[in-house]
Amino acid sequence: MSSALHEQPYLESWRWMSRQIRCAMDPDEPRLIEHYLAEGRYLACCTATSPWTIAETSFRLLLDTATDVALPWHWRSLCLDQAWRPLRDLERQSLCGCRLKRWQSYAWQLATCELQPSIPLIELVQGSPDE
């Protein structure tokens, strides 16, 4: 079996989990984040997928989800709390100057991230009162 055929089911599963996280499809299931990160680690070590790409994509997903005010606060907080894990993986892979600069930029983004309050569900359903 070729590497691409072996990799495809895991890559598809990882992408599906990323959509579930980004859209907070199951915000009361924090184990989804751990499962997503574990699947990424598997892809990085056991397939041809670049470990840097996996870690960078995971970090961006978690940070972008954390800063999305349309999502529930507790889900955003969980994502922010876990963003250090792929950032740590990026640090380990920062063996050249360009990657080190990207890692430093990401570390700064995480260190200075301030979560704004989530939009109340009633406002999401009804729309902005200014309309």
d(CA 27, CA 20): 9
Residue 29 in contact with residue 87, Cβ under 8 Å? no
pLDDT, tens digit, 9 for 90 and up, residues 94-130: 999 999 999 999 999 999 999 999 998 776 666 655 5
Give CA 81 to chain center in angstroms.
11
Q: How far apart are CA 39 and CA 65, in angstroms?
A: 18
The answer to whether 90 touches 52, Cβ cutoff 8 Å, is yes
Provide the 10 A C-beta neighbour count for residue 95. Answer: 8
**Per residue in 27-84, pLDDT tens?**
999 999 999 999 999 999 998 899 999 999 999 999 999 999 999 999 999 999 999 9
Least Cα distance to 53 among 38, 43, 39, 66 occurs for 43
Collapsed DSSP state (helix, strand, coil) of residue 30: coil
User: pTM (2 decimals)?
Assistant: 0.87
